[in-house]
Amino acid sequence: MIGGGQLARMMVPAAIELGVDLRVLAEAEGMAAAIAAERVGDYTDTATVLDFAKTVDVVTFDHEHVPQDVLRALVDAGVPVRPGPDALRYAQDKLLMRERLSELGLPVPDWARVLVPAELDAFIAEHGGAAVVKTPRGGYDGKGVRVVRSAAEVSEWFTAAAEDGGSGALLVEELVDFRRELAQLVARRPSGEVAAWPLVETVQVGGVCSEVIAPAPKSAGRLADVAADVAVAIADGLGVTGVLAVELFETVDDRVLVNELAMRPHNSGHWSMDGATTGQFEQHLRAVLDLPLGGTGTHHAWSVMVNILGGPEEGQLVDRYPEAMANHPTAKVHNYGKEPRPGRKVGHVTAVGDDLDEVVYEARSAAAVFQD
Protein backbone atom coordinates (compact mmCIF):
# COMPACT_ATOMS: atom_id res chain seq x y z
CA MET A 1 0.00 0.00 0.00
CA ILE A 2 1.37 3.39 -0.95
CA GLY A 3 0.66 5.98 1.73
CA GLY A 4 1.02 5.61 5.48
CA GLY A 5 -2.05 7.40 6.85
CA GLN A 6 -4.93 6.11 8.92
CA LEU A 7 -6.42 4.16 6.02
CA ALA A 8 -3.22 2.10 5.73
CA ARG A 9 -3.22 1.69 9.51
CA MET A 10 -6.80 0.36 9.55
CA MET A 11 -5.88 -2.10 6.78
CA VAL A 12 -3.44 -3.80 9.16
CA PRO A 13 -5.93 -5.81 11.29
CA ALA A 14 -7.78 -6.96 8.16
CA ALA A 15 -4.48 -8.10 6.63
CA ILE A 16 -3.51 -9.94 9.81
CA GLU A 17 -6.87 -11.73 9.96
CA LEU A 18 -6.50 -12.91 6.36
CA GLY A 19 -2.81 -13.71 6.72
CA VAL A 20 -2.00 -11.19 3.98
CA ASP A 21 1.48 -9.70 4.22
CA LEU A 22 0.75 -5.96 4.08
CA ARG A 23 3.67 -3.70 3.27
CA VAL A 24 3.39 0.06 3.39
CA LEU A 25 5.43 2.75 1.65
CA ALA A 26 4.96 5.67 4.04
CA GLU A 27 5.68 9.32 3.30
CA ALA A 28 7.48 9.92 6.58
CA GLU A 29 8.60 8.29 9.80
CA GLY A 30 6.06 7.90 12.59
CA MET A 31 2.91 8.07 10.47
CA ALA A 32 -0.37 6.41 11.46
CA ALA A 33 0.61 3.18 9.65
CA ALA A 34 4.18 3.13 11.00
CA ILE A 35 3.45 -0.30 12.49
CA ALA A 36 3.31 -1.76 8.96
CA ALA A 37 5.69 0.62 7.21
CA GLU A 38 8.17 -1.43 5.25
CA ARG A 39 9.96 1.70 4.25
CA VAL A 40 9.74 5.46 4.03
CA GLY A 41 10.02 7.12 0.65
CA ASP A 42 8.74 9.67 -1.81
CA TYR A 43 5.72 8.32 -3.72
CA THR A 44 6.29 10.86 -6.50
CA ASP A 45 9.70 9.32 -7.28
CA THR A 46 9.45 6.54 -9.89
CA ALA A 47 12.62 4.72 -8.79
CA THR A 48 11.50 4.63 -5.13
CA VAL A 49 8.05 3.30 -6.01
CA LEU A 50 9.38 0.74 -8.50
CA ASP A 51 11.86 -0.50 -5.93
CA PHE A 52 9.10 -0.87 -3.32
CA ALA A 53 6.85 -2.62 -5.84
CA LYS A 54 9.48 -5.35 -6.40
CA THR A 55 8.70 -6.63 -2.89
CA VAL A 56 4.94 -7.10 -3.42
CA ASP A 57 2.37 -8.87 -5.64
CA VAL A 58 -0.15 -6.03 -5.92
CA VAL A 59 0.10 -2.28 -5.35
CA THR A 60 -2.79 -0.27 -3.90
CA PHE A 61 -3.15 3.11 -2.19
CA ASP A 62 -4.32 5.00 0.86
CA HIS A 63 -4.58 8.24 -1.16
CA GLU A 64 -4.99 9.33 -4.78
CA HIS A 65 -1.86 11.44 -5.13
CA VAL A 66 0.61 9.11 -6.83
CA PRO A 67 1.38 10.86 -10.14
CA GLN A 68 0.24 9.30 -13.41
CA ASP A 69 3.79 8.86 -14.75
CA VAL A 70 4.74 6.85 -11.65
CA LEU A 71 1.60 4.71 -11.96
CA ARG A 72 2.30 4.10 -15.67
CA ALA A 73 5.89 3.08 -14.89
CA LEU A 74 4.53 0.45 -12.48
CA VAL A 75 2.12 -0.88 -15.11
CA ASP A 76 4.93 -0.96 -17.71
CA ALA A 77 7.05 -2.96 -15.25
CA GLY A 78 4.25 -5.55 -15.07
CA VAL A 79 3.09 -4.68 -11.53
CA PRO A 80 -0.65 -5.14 -10.91
CA VAL A 81 -1.82 -1.64 -9.85
CA ARG A 82 -5.29 -1.54 -8.29
CA PRO A 83 -6.99 0.72 -8.97
CA GLY A 84 -5.01 1.34 -12.15
CA PRO A 85 -3.97 4.69 -13.61
CA ASP A 86 -6.86 4.80 -16.11
CA ALA A 87 -9.36 4.68 -13.25
CA LEU A 88 -7.39 6.77 -10.75
CA ARG A 89 -7.10 9.75 -13.09
CA TYR A 90 -10.80 10.42 -12.51
CA ALA A 91 -10.26 10.53 -8.76
CA GLN A 92 -7.24 12.81 -9.23
CA ASP A 93 -8.88 15.44 -11.40
CA LYS A 94 -12.42 16.70 -10.74
CA LEU A 95 -12.76 18.16 -14.25
CA LEU A 96 -11.91 14.84 -15.90
CA MET A 97 -14.33 13.14 -13.50
CA ARG A 98 -17.19 15.51 -14.36
CA GLU A 99 -16.52 15.05 -18.10
CA ARG A 100 -16.45 11.26 -17.89
CA LEU A 101 -19.53 10.95 -15.68
CA SER A 102 -21.44 13.24 -18.04
CA GLU A 103 -20.36 11.07 -20.99
CA LEU A 104 -21.60 8.00 -19.11
CA GLY A 105 -24.97 9.73 -18.67
CA LEU A 106 -24.69 9.74 -14.88
CA PRO A 107 -26.41 12.43 -12.80
CA VAL A 108 -24.06 15.30 -11.87
CA PRO A 109 -24.63 18.95 -10.93
CA ASP A 110 -24.57 21.42 -13.85
CA TRP A 111 -20.89 22.16 -14.40
CA ALA A 112 -18.44 23.90 -16.71
CA ARG A 113 -14.72 24.17 -17.34
CA VAL A 114 -13.72 27.81 -16.98
CA LEU A 115 -10.41 29.21 -18.13
CA VAL A 116 -10.90 32.91 -17.46
CA PRO A 117 -12.88 34.98 -14.93
CA ALA A 118 -15.36 36.16 -17.59
CA GLU A 119 -16.47 32.57 -18.25
CA LEU A 120 -16.98 32.04 -14.53
CA ASP A 121 -19.02 35.22 -14.17
CA ALA A 122 -21.19 34.10 -17.11
CA PHE A 123 -21.85 30.72 -15.42
CA ILE A 124 -22.70 32.46 -12.13
CA ALA A 125 -25.14 34.77 -13.92
CA GLU A 126 -26.84 31.78 -15.59
CA HIS A 127 -27.16 29.95 -12.27
CA GLY A 128 -28.94 32.40 -10.03
CA GLY A 129 -25.99 34.52 -8.94
CA ALA A 130 -23.97 31.93 -7.04
CA ALA A 131 -21.86 28.88 -7.88
CA VAL A 132 -19.31 26.51 -6.41
CA VAL A 133 -15.76 26.76 -7.75
CA LYS A 134 -13.33 23.88 -7.31
CA THR A 135 -9.66 23.46 -8.04
CA PRO A 136 -9.55 20.35 -10.24
CA ARG A 137 -6.58 18.80 -8.44
CA GLY A 138 -5.26 18.44 -4.93
CA GLY A 139 -8.33 19.49 -2.89
CA TYR A 140 -9.49 17.58 0.20
CA ASP A 141 -11.73 18.14 3.23
CA GLY A 142 -13.30 21.21 1.60
CA LYS A 143 -9.98 22.87 0.74
CA GLY A 144 -10.16 23.92 -2.89
CA VAL A 145 -13.96 24.34 -2.79
CA ARG A 146 -15.51 27.80 -2.53
CA VAL A 147 -19.01 29.20 -2.92
CA VAL A 148 -18.73 32.44 -4.90
CA ARG A 149 -20.92 35.22 -6.24
CA SER A 150 -18.20 36.73 -8.41
CA ALA A 151 -15.08 35.46 -10.20
CA ALA A 152 -13.03 38.05 -8.32
CA GLU A 153 -13.38 35.83 -5.20
CA VAL A 154 -11.15 33.15 -6.76
CA SER A 155 -8.82 35.22 -8.94
CA GLU A 156 -5.75 33.71 -7.24
CA TRP A 157 -7.02 30.21 -8.08
CA PHE A 158 -6.89 30.95 -11.82
CA THR A 159 -3.23 31.91 -11.42
CA ALA A 160 -2.46 28.85 -9.28
CA ALA A 161 -4.24 26.47 -11.68
CA ALA A 162 -2.11 27.75 -14.57
CA GLU A 163 1.08 27.21 -12.54
CA ASP A 164 0.02 23.67 -11.50
CA GLY A 165 1.17 22.32 -14.86
CA GLY A 166 -2.46 21.71 -15.77
CA SER A 167 -4.63 23.49 -18.30
CA GLY A 168 -5.22 26.46 -15.99
CA ALA A 169 -8.91 25.62 -15.93
CA LEU A 170 -11.15 25.57 -12.87
CA LEU A 171 -14.32 23.55 -12.35
CA VAL A 172 -17.51 25.48 -11.65
CA GLU A 173 -20.75 23.84 -10.55
CA GLU A 174 -24.26 24.92 -9.75
CA LEU A 175 -24.77 25.50 -6.02
CA VAL A 176 -26.84 22.38 -5.35
CA ASP A 177 -29.83 22.82 -3.06
CA PHE A 178 -29.47 19.54 -1.22
CA ARG A 179 -31.49 17.99 1.57
CA ARG A 180 -28.58 15.91 2.77
CA GLU A 181 -25.34 14.30 1.66
CA LEU A 182 -25.11 10.57 1.10
CA ALA A 183 -22.36 8.14 0.22
CA GLN A 184 -22.54 4.85 -1.62
CA LEU A 185 -19.59 2.51 -1.22
CA VAL A 186 -18.98 -0.45 -3.47
CA ALA A 187 -16.05 -2.76 -4.04
CA ARG A 188 -15.09 -4.17 -7.42
CA ARG A 189 -12.53 -6.81 -8.27
CA PRO A 190 -10.65 -7.13 -11.57
CA SER A 191 -12.87 -10.03 -12.63
CA GLY A 192 -15.82 -7.60 -12.49
CA GLU A 193 -17.62 -8.81 -9.35
CA VAL A 194 -19.12 -5.87 -7.45
CA ALA A 195 -20.51 -5.68 -3.91
CA ALA A 196 -22.40 -2.69 -2.48
CA TRP A 197 -22.83 -1.73 1.17
CA PRO A 198 -26.02 0.03 2.29
CA LEU A 199 -26.30 3.69 1.29
CA VAL A 200 -25.21 5.97 4.16
CA GLU A 201 -25.90 9.55 5.21
CA THR A 202 -22.85 11.74 5.83
CA VAL A 203 -22.85 14.94 7.83
CA GLN A 204 -20.15 17.52 7.04
CA VAL A 205 -19.16 20.46 9.16
CA GLY A 206 -17.00 23.08 7.47
CA GLY A 207 -16.28 20.72 4.56
CA VAL A 208 -15.11 17.92 6.89
CA CYS A 209 -17.09 14.73 7.54
CA SER A 210 -18.24 14.64 11.15
CA GLU A 211 -20.81 11.83 11.28
CA VAL A 212 -22.05 8.89 9.23
CA ILE A 213 -25.35 7.06 9.70
CA ALA A 214 -25.70 3.59 8.17
CA PRO A 215 -28.03 2.97 6.52
CA ALA A 216 -29.17 6.45 5.55
CA PRO A 217 -32.52 7.03 7.32
CA LYS A 218 -35.56 6.85 5.02
CA SER A 219 -33.52 5.51 2.12
CA ALA A 220 -35.01 2.05 1.63
CA GLY A 221 -36.44 1.46 -1.82
CA ARG A 222 -35.95 3.82 -4.74
CA LEU A 223 -33.26 6.03 -3.22
CA ALA A 224 -31.08 3.07 -2.19
CA ASP A 225 -31.58 1.40 -5.58
CA VAL A 226 -30.68 4.55 -7.55
CA ALA A 227 -27.55 5.18 -5.46
CA ALA A 228 -26.35 1.59 -5.81
CA ASP A 229 -27.01 1.61 -9.56
CA VAL A 230 -25.07 4.86 -9.97
CA ALA A 231 -22.08 3.60 -7.96
CA VAL A 232 -21.97 0.27 -9.78
CA ALA A 233 -22.19 2.08 -13.13
CA ILE A 234 -19.23 4.25 -12.10
CA ALA A 235 -17.18 1.30 -10.83
CA ASP A 236 -17.80 -0.59 -14.10
CA GLY A 237 -17.60 2.45 -16.37
CA LEU A 238 -14.28 3.66 -14.99
CA GLY A 239 -12.89 0.16 -14.40
CA VAL A 240 -12.29 0.73 -10.69
CA THR A 241 -10.73 -2.05 -8.62
CA GLY A 242 -10.88 -1.98 -4.82
CA VAL A 243 -13.27 0.16 -2.80
CA LEU A 244 -15.01 3.06 -4.55
CA ALA A 245 -16.77 5.73 -2.52
CA VAL A 246 -19.32 7.83 -4.37
CA GLU A 247 -20.32 10.99 -2.50
CA LEU A 248 -23.84 12.05 -3.44
CA PHE A 249 -26.28 14.90 -2.92
CA GLU A 250 -29.94 14.15 -2.31
CA THR A 251 -31.55 17.31 -3.69
CA VAL A 252 -34.65 19.02 -2.31
CA ASP A 253 -36.46 17.92 -5.48
CA ASP A 254 -35.55 14.27 -4.84
CA ARG A 255 -32.75 13.82 -7.32
CA VAL A 256 -29.47 12.06 -6.62
CA LEU A 257 -26.37 13.82 -7.98
CA VAL A 258 -22.78 12.63 -7.83
CA ASN A 259 -20.42 14.99 -6.03
CA GLU A 260 -17.07 13.29 -5.51
CA LEU A 261 -15.29 9.97 -6.02
CA ALA A 262 -12.65 8.27 -3.88
CA MET A 263 -11.00 5.07 -5.07
CA ARG A 264 -9.91 3.64 -1.73
CA PRO A 265 -11.48 2.95 1.64
CA HIS A 266 -13.25 6.12 2.75
CA ASN A 267 -14.34 7.87 5.92
CA SER A 268 -17.97 7.17 5.02
CA GLY A 269 -17.22 3.42 5.23
CA HIS A 270 -15.50 3.27 8.62
CA TRP A 271 -18.76 2.13 10.25
CA SER A 272 -18.53 -1.12 8.24
CA MET A 273 -15.59 -2.36 10.36
CA ASP A 274 -17.96 -2.71 13.33
CA GLY A 275 -21.35 -2.77 11.64
CA ALA A 276 -21.13 -4.98 8.56
CA THR A 277 -20.30 -8.61 7.83
CA THR A 278 -17.31 -7.45 5.80
CA GLY A 279 -15.60 -4.18 6.66
CA GLN A 280 -14.27 -1.92 3.94
CA PHE A 281 -10.62 -2.65 4.71
CA GLU A 282 -11.02 -6.40 4.40
CA GLN A 283 -13.14 -5.91 1.29
CA HIS A 284 -10.52 -3.66 -0.29
CA LEU A 285 -7.87 -6.34 0.26
CA ARG A 286 -10.15 -9.02 -1.19
CA ALA A 287 -10.95 -6.83 -4.19
CA VAL A 288 -7.38 -5.83 -5.07
CA LEU A 289 -6.25 -9.46 -4.62
CA ASP A 290 -9.11 -10.53 -6.95
CA LEU A 291 -10.64 -12.75 -4.28
CA PRO A 292 -14.41 -13.32 -3.98
CA LEU A 293 -16.01 -10.40 -2.14
CA GLY A 294 -17.54 -10.69 1.31
CA GLY A 295 -21.13 -10.09 2.40
CA THR A 296 -22.11 -6.47 2.96
CA GLY A 297 -25.10 -6.99 5.23
CA THR A 298 -25.31 -5.31 8.64
CA HIS A 299 -25.27 -6.85 12.12
CA HIS A 300 -27.70 -4.30 13.59
CA ALA A 301 -30.41 -1.98 12.33
CA TRP A 302 -28.15 1.09 12.75
CA SER A 303 -24.48 1.94 12.86
CA VAL A 304 -23.35 5.48 13.61
CA MET A 305 -19.77 6.68 13.23
CA VAL A 306 -18.59 9.97 14.72
CA ASN A 307 -15.16 11.36 13.88
CA ILE A 308 -12.86 12.58 16.62
CA LEU A 309 -11.75 15.88 15.13
CA GLY A 310 -8.81 17.55 16.81
CA GLY A 311 -8.74 15.47 19.98
CA PRO A 312 -7.96 16.76 23.47
CA GLU A 313 -6.28 20.14 23.85
CA GLU A 314 -3.66 18.56 26.07
CA GLY A 315 -2.37 15.02 26.16
CA GLN A 316 -3.37 12.07 23.99
CA LEU A 317 -6.56 10.16 23.19
CA VAL A 318 -5.47 7.32 25.49
CA ASP A 319 -5.61 9.69 28.46
CA ARG A 320 -9.39 9.74 28.00
CA TYR A 321 -9.77 5.96 27.74
CA PRO A 322 -10.75 5.39 31.39
CA GLU A 323 -13.66 7.84 31.12
CA ALA A 324 -14.75 6.75 27.63
CA MET A 325 -14.57 3.05 28.37
CA ALA A 326 -16.28 3.28 31.76
CA ASN A 327 -19.20 5.34 30.47
CA HIS A 328 -19.53 3.93 26.95
CA PRO A 329 -18.78 0.21 27.09
CA THR A 330 -20.57 -0.52 23.80
CA ALA A 331 -18.86 2.22 21.76
CA LYS A 332 -15.94 1.09 19.60
CA VAL A 333 -13.01 3.49 19.71
CA HIS A 334 -10.54 3.70 16.81
CA ASN A 335 -7.39 5.69 17.51
CA TYR A 336 -5.19 6.62 14.54
CA GLY A 337 -2.13 7.20 16.71
CA LYS A 338 -1.82 10.76 15.44
CA GLU A 339 -0.78 13.82 17.41
CA PRO A 340 -3.92 15.82 18.40
CA ARG A 341 -4.20 19.08 16.45
CA PRO A 342 -7.24 21.33 15.84
CA GLY A 343 -9.48 19.97 13.09
CA ARG A 344 -7.33 16.89 12.43
CA LYS A 345 -9.02 13.50 12.08
CA VAL A 346 -7.34 11.62 14.93
CA GLY A 347 -9.83 8.80 15.42
CA HIS A 348 -13.47 7.80 15.31
CA VAL A 349 -16.10 6.07 17.41
CA THR A 350 -18.76 3.67 16.17
CA ALA A 351 -21.91 2.61 17.99
CA VAL A 352 -24.44 0.05 16.76
CA GLY A 353 -27.95 -0.94 17.82
CA ASP A 354 -31.62 -1.08 17.00
CA ASP A 355 -32.78 2.37 18.14
CA LEU A 356 -31.36 5.18 16.01
CA ASP A 357 -31.71 7.91 18.65
CA GLU A 358 -29.88 5.82 21.21
CA VAL A 359 -27.14 4.84 18.79
CA VAL A 360 -26.58 8.46 17.72
CA TYR A 361 -26.49 9.55 21.37
CA GLU A 362 -24.02 6.83 22.31
CA ALA A 363 -21.65 7.52 19.39
CA ARG A 364 -21.74 11.30 19.88
CA SER A 365 -21.30 11.22 23.64
CA ALA A 366 -18.44 8.70 23.45
CA ALA A 367 -16.67 10.79 20.78
CA ALA A 368 -17.21 13.93 22.87
CA VAL A 369 -15.09 12.45 25.68
CA PHE A 370 -12.09 12.84 23.37
CA GLN A 371 -12.77 16.50 22.50
CA ASP A 372 -12.36 19.66 24.55
**What residues form the annotated binding site for ATP?**
94, 134, 173-176, 181, 259-260
User: Which range in 9-17, 134-142, 217-225, 271-279 contacts ligand ADP by CB under 6 A?
Assistant: 134-142
Number of residues that bind ligand ADP (CB under 6 A): 17
Q: Which is nearer to ligand ADP, 173 or 274 (CB)?
A: 173
> Do the bridges between strand 200-205 and strand 208-214 make them parallel or antiparallel, or are there none, so unpaired?
antiparallel
Measured from the CB of residue 90, what is the shortest distance to ligand ADP in angstroms?
13
Number of residue whose CB is nearest ligand ADP: 176
Which is nearest to 190 in space by CA: 68, 272, 87, 37?
Answer: 87
User: Residues with Cβ < 8 Å from 94, sequence gap 6 or more?
Assistant: 134, 135, 136, 137, 139, 171, 260
Among 38, 99, 141, 290, indicate the residue that binds ligand ADP (CB under 6 A): 141
User: Which range in 9-17, 42-50, 171-179, 272-280 contacts ligand ADP by CB under 6 A?
Assistant: 171-179
User: Which range in 32-40, 61-69, 135-143, 222-230 contacts ligand ADP by CB under 6 A?
Assistant: 135-143
Q: Tell me which amino acid residue 54 is.
A: K
Q: Show contacts of 254-259: CB within 8 Å, 24+ apart.
A: 255/107, 256/107, 256/182, 256/223, 256/226, 256/227, 256/230, 257/107, 257/108, 257/109, 257/176, 257/178, 258/101, 258/106, 258/107, 258/108, 258/230, 258/234, 259/109, 259/176, 259/181
Measured from the CB of residue 137, what is the shortest distance to ligand ADP in angstroms?
10
Among 32, 101, 145, 183, indicate the residue that binds ligand ADP (CB under 6 A): 145
Touching ligand ADP, residues 221-260 (CB under 6 A): 247, 259-260
295 binds ligand ADP (CB under 6 A): no
175 binds ligand ADP (CB under 6 A): yes
Measured from the CB of residue 3, what is the shortest distance to ligand ADP in angstroms?
17
Residues that bind ligand ADP (CB under 6 A): 109, 132, 134, 139-142, 145, 173, 175-176, 181, 204, 207, 247, 259-260
